[in-house]
Chains A and B, each alone.
Chain A
Amino acid sequence: MKLPILSFLVFFPIAGMVILLFIDRKNHKMLKEATLAISLVEFVVSLPLWFWFDGKTAAMQFVERYNWLPQYGISYYVGVDGFSLLLILLTTFLTPLCVLATWTDIQHRVKEFMICLLGLIAGMIGVFVALDLFLFYVFWEVMLIPMYLLIGVWGNPARRVYAAIKFFLFTMFGSLLMLVAILVLYFHYGKTTGTYTFDLLKMYGLSIPFNMQFWMFLAFGLAFAIKVPMFPFHTWLPDAHTEAPTVGSVILAAVLLKMGTYGFLRFNMPLFPQAAHYFVPLFSILALIGIVYGALVCMMQKDLKRLIAFSSVSHLGFVMLGLFTYTMAGVQGGIIQMINHGLSTGALFFIVGMIYERRHTRMIADFGGLSTPMPIYATIFMIVSLSSIGLPGLNGFIGEFLILLGAFKANMVYATIAATGVIFAACYMLWMFQRVMFGKVENEKNRTLKDLSPREIAIFAPLILFIVWIGVYPNTFLDKTKATTENFIAMMEKVKAPQVSFYQVIKGEAK
């Protein structure tokens, strides 16, 4: 009998929410322990996905399918392939660490916080496993609410409402257009084949006129581009990151942003391949702007969280650039880079969170010389920073290198511009590190700071393990994505972009 692992992963956190309801709201410790236990079970259950996943086939695995609303062709249809596997594992892997990070950080409305957190996990895993467009959309929207609450309720009191609403509206704006596009796709499929279904894999083979692909690509693309976020739709991110509680920032950076890049891989490109080729220049250039612009703006930030937020814009620009190369190296590098960004930026937000807990400030100028009172913290911070700037031997390099290698084949100029991002990354990270960690302790409050506790070290140890693992032996992970990527590339190579101008498409002349 096949075990319904995916359903368990989606619904167990929801069951966990129910369990939490019965725990005394004043008993913070028990609430946290229960959540930790739930997240650990979730993680352990997700491990068979890794071990039983067959990296040699591009087919969906661990598939489960039940009718939901058969009269509309809606089914509960979930599965995993090389694109989603690592992202699901990243999510289940990070959740226990996030719970650990709340131990002393979250002190009020703990019960609600944990419920939101579990709801968020369920929604995110749902997004990554859904193979039915309707189901996908449900999860996509579901996950929005707990994140909105995390920012709005547990955020930084000064601007949390502004940031939460901004996050919500931006995402809603994109997803509404996507909903329209999903419906158009549904009816188009029904009209051409006679059966009405939301089954994603069936739609992959559908031939859609270019004119329609063009608009559909943009409608889906906008929703995902906002999530990534791509320039110029990124301005919700610095606000959301800055105001969110530590765990919110970690999940936002590590997993939520990946839904955007994943969306391009899973929906935009295979559904609308002609348009996907057509839009390569536009999206590559936006990605390049993201890389360079994100890095430059990053350099000038005074707030640690904003700095990391802008660095995400730059890193995710690399991912997008890689995906749009439609080369093995570029796409595999893009996927690895999604994981890398999740690990290193997640770790960076933990790092900032821990110092914020101690000092209640995130301003770079308030620190300086922290290496002296906090040597362990300094070491971990250094390793994570180096991972983020792509030092060979650590994970970031593998992603960036493969992406640039792929990009170089696709377009030398793109690769050259993107590679300057590597220089700027060194500038902003090392400068930030210097201002925070080096120098003499000037501020008396910093002199007596406590170094990391064993609990805090326990959060970083597994992160650093993977930071090194991916850097030294990336094949463990590349192998899992290989077959799916090969299949994807083959699919993309079959079509070409039509030679029409933007203007012709808008006038409806392109067929």
Chain B
Amino acid sequence: MMMDYVWLIPVFPLIGFLINGLFGKKLSKNTVGIIGSAVIGLSFLVTVKIFFEFLNLPPGVKAVEKTVFTWISSGNFTAQAAFLIDPLSLVMLGVVTGVSFLIHIYSVGYMHDDPGFYRYFAYLNLFVFSMLILVSANNFLLMFVGWEGVGLCSYLLIGFWYEKQSASDAGKKAFVVNRIGDFGFLLGIFLIFWTFNTINFREVFDLAAKYPIGSGVITAITLLLFVGAIGKSAQIPLYVWLPDAMEGPTPVSALIHAATMVTAGVYMVARCSALYVLAPFSLTVVAVVGALTAIFAATMGMAQNDIKRVLAYSTVSQLGYMFLACGVGAFVSGIFHLMTHAFFKALLFLGSGSVIHGMHGEQDMRHMGNLKKYMPITYWTFMLATLAIAGIFPFAGFFSKDEILFYSLVDGHLLYWGIATVAACITAFYMFRAVFMTFYGEERFDHHHVHPHEAPMTMAVPLMILAGLSVVGGLVGFPIIEGAHKFKEFLKPSIAPLHAEVHHAMSFEIIMMIFSMTVAAVGIYIAYKCYIKTPELPEKITEKFPTTYDYVYNKYYVDELYDATVVEPIKSGSDFLWKGVDDKVVDGAVNGSAGMVAWLSAHLRKLETGFVQNYALAILIGVVLITGYLIGR
């Protein structure tokens, strides 16, 4: 049968994980690297094959489900281990396997001197396995398996250098914050099951269609699911783990914390578009959270000096865009941006990794400068990705971001559009700031100790391929011309539309495009002014607004706020529960009653004197008392 072998897609990485995890220590680094990368390559090939088979399906067949086995069954609850192959999952499978494959190859070079090489590849393979389960599951619970699985791998890989306190702290933080989101997701699943009696995506969506728009239970479900997305995709207020996640090796940041895992929330919302379109309130929440995160994170990105942190905040911000798109009903645009972002942001991270590699571990952009002279491939590829993220025509990011801006105006609200536009300007600014600080200007590093060099070929080739994708990847979603938006046509069967498609005047679309380009150009120009032309300008500005700068530089003190209002109270409260309640009250009652018995027996024992006279006296007193009582009655 066609596509019966779809299970191979996640199983290959799983095999890689088992081989590298169990025997990796005994294998040579080359073998580990080859196995680790090859299994992902195989998954990619299977995905491609399935993609073509899918295109050849008879018209009318929009999705194929393949059950492998029944995972859990209890009473009327069943969860299958089964795959859903439809346009949406195919896009995700393609992005995940493709980008993962490149990053695995890059990692062979990047991690070459690390003693935990095999462990790294085992974790990375496990991650890809979980991610593939997440995007190809046909029901909510199996998706949740992948969902928590990627969280685990993220935890393991952020804390990969576990001897470093900050790394293991960051890993733990990521896991716990994600669990807060997962808590919402889990409750969402319960509500789905007890509402529809199934957790299969397509069955749920079919049944939900009978509910009226704005129904309470659908709103509740979509909001709970969105809590999961907020955690996984690092949106306000749970974004705090992502910047810290940069403690992990850079290819991990590229794969997990930029291209794939963090976009799972967007995928989930798009997957549940059939539910979200029934819950206007939830959509508004999604859009507002997305828009706010987009601008909030962008402002934080402006003041970072660590090249990876700039990219981290940029990721948070771009994820905000994707949610904004979903929130205004433009799910396709959200997924489109997810895909182009996977290309250019993976490239940016890998480029930064190449810089860090070439700079012997230096991440602070203040200690870089003029690196284009030393690493031309890295420079050019990084530049292309920057143009893409800034939204310059005809790079990939231009098409997807422009679409989001467009729909946030026509289907959303002027305010959304305003926020997104300002955030776009800031994005262009901080990205070019990063480019200028890293690759231009004076050489601010110590020439005696640092000898910048270009990346080896295993790292450079993935950079070039991703650069190619960042340049042309947006063309699948070519706007304006009718039918040229192949991406939208392809995804149509998977996405529930918010309303019938409205046709907009071509001139309006073109004006919007020119405007968004102008906005990007302004951002770039300001960066140019600040960091090339008059390098003393930023300092002057920060001196002029010290408080504002302080807030932005310290990320608005959100981490400190959470510490003071959540973490510390729980800790001291728990300490009180232990020492105050458990030891004193509960166990105190136990020991107290034991003590009382001991005390009583110690005193009662004294009555047993052994002297007959004493007993006779006691008898006499007793007789007197009883007689007295009887008489007096």
Contact = CB atoms under 8 A, between A and B. Distances in A.
B70 A430 contact: no
B594 interface: yes
Contacts of B194: 408-409
A327 B578 CA distance: 33
A369 B194 CA distance: 45
A166 interface: yes
Nearest to A431: B172
B351 interface: no
A232 B586 contact: yes
Contact of B73 (A386, A438, A475): A475
Contact of A328 (B75, B159, B165): B75
A101 B240 CA distance: 43
B163 A297 contact: no
A369 B590 CA distance: 38
A437 B141 CA distance: 31
Interface string A348-372: 0000000000000000000001011
A404 interface: yes
A211 interface: no
Contact of A423 (B76, B179, B573): B179
B23 interface: no
Contacts of B155: 430
A86 interface: no
Contacts of A405: 77, 190, 193
A438 B575 contact: no
Which range holds the interface residue count of chain B?
Answer: 35 or more
A423 B183 contact: yes
A401 B72 CA distance: 10
A423 B155 CA distance: 15
A387 to B, nearest CB: 12
B162 A438 contact: yes
Contacts of A416: 187
B187 A478 contact: no
Contacts of B590: 166, 170, 235-236
A13 interface: no
A300 interface: yes
B145 interface: yes
B148 A293 contact: no
Interface in A423-469: 423, 426-427, 430-431, 434, 437-440
Given A301-B578, A332-B75, A422 B148 contact: no
B175 A426 contact: yes
A296 B144 contact: no
Contacts of A434: 159, 168-169, 172
Q: In the complex, which of the residues B25, B74, B169, B179 has the most CB atoms of chain A within 10 Å of its own CB atom?
A: B74
A427 B73 contact: no
Given A392-B148, A426-B179, A369 B163 contact: yes
Contacts of B586: 231-232, 234-235
Interface in B31-56: none
Nearest to A379: B21
Q: In the complex, which of the residues A234, A329, A369 has the most CB atoms of chain B within 10 Å of its own CB atom?
A: A329
A328 B74 contact: yes
B152 interface: yes
Contacts of A472: 71
B574 interface: yes
A478 B78 CA distance: 12
Q: In the complex, which of the residues B144, B163, B571 has the most CB atoms of chain A within 10 Å of its own CB atom?
A: B163
B573 A393 contact: no
A211 B458 CA distance: 78
Contacts of A427: 176
Contact of B72 (A231, A293, A300, A402): A402
Given A296-B577, A426-B176, A169 B582 contact: no
Interface in B156-183: 159, 162-163, 165, 168-169, 172, 175-176, 179-180, 182-183
Contact of B149 (A170, A296, A297, A393): A393
A473 B69 contact: yes
Contacts of A332: 74-75
Majority SS at the chain B contact face: helix
A142 interface: no
Contacts of A369: 163
B186 interface: yes
Interface in B66-86: 69-77
Contact of A329 (B77, B148, B159, B575): B77
Nearest to B155: A430
Q: In the complex, which of the residues A300, A398, A482 has the most CB atoms of chain B within 10 Å of its own CB atom?
A: A300
A323 to B, nearest CB: 14
B570 interface: yes
A50 B25 CA distance: 38
Contact of A439 (B148, B163, B183, B581): B163
A170 B149 CA distance: 42
B481 to A, nearest CB: 45
Given A166-B590, A398-B72, A430-B172, A419 B187 contact: yes
B75 A329 contact: yes
A404 B186 CA distance: 9
Interface in A297-337: 297, 299-301, 327-329, 332-333
A352 B179 CA distance: 26
B191 interface: yes
Contacts of B575: 300
A219 to B, nearest CB: 19
A310 B144 CA distance: 28
A475 B81 CA distance: 12
A259 to B, nearest CB: 21
Contacts of B176: 423, 426-427, 430
A16 interface: no
Interface string B471-487: 00000000000000000
A55 interface: no
A430 B571 contact: no
A474 interface: yes
Nearest to B22: A379
Interface in B310-325: none
A391 interface: yes
Interface string A362-390: 00000001011001000000000010000
Contacts of B187: 408, 415-416, 419
B152 A391 contact: yes
Interface string B545-580: 000000000000000000000000011011101100
Contacts of A402: 72, 74, 77
A323 B144 CA distance: 25
A420 interface: yes
A407 B141 CA distance: 17
Given A235-B587, A408-B190, A408-B191, A300 B574 contact: yes
B70 A475 contact: yes
B183 A438 contact: no
A472 B148 CA distance: 14
A478 B163 contact: no
B149 A438 contact: no
Interface string B186-207: 1100110110000000000000
A404 B571 contact: no
Nearest to B193: A405
A235 B586 CA distance: 7
Nearest to B572: A300
A405 B581 CA distance: 31
B173 to A, nearest CB: 10
22 contacts: A166-B590, A232-B586, A234-B586, A301-B578, A328-B74, A329-B75, A333-B74, A393-B145, A397-B148, A401-B186, A404-B186, A404-B190, A408-B190, A408-B194, A409-B194, A416-B187, A422-B179, A430-B172, A430-B175, A434-B172, A439-B163, A478-B74
Q: Name the 7 nearest CB pairs between A and B, nearest first.
A: A328-B75, A408-B190, A392-B145, A296-B574, A438-B168, A235-B587, A438-B162
Given A232-B586, A419-B186, A475-B72, 9 more contacts: A231-B586, A236-B590, A296-B577, A299-B571, A404-B190, A408-B191, A422-B182, A438-B159, A438-B165
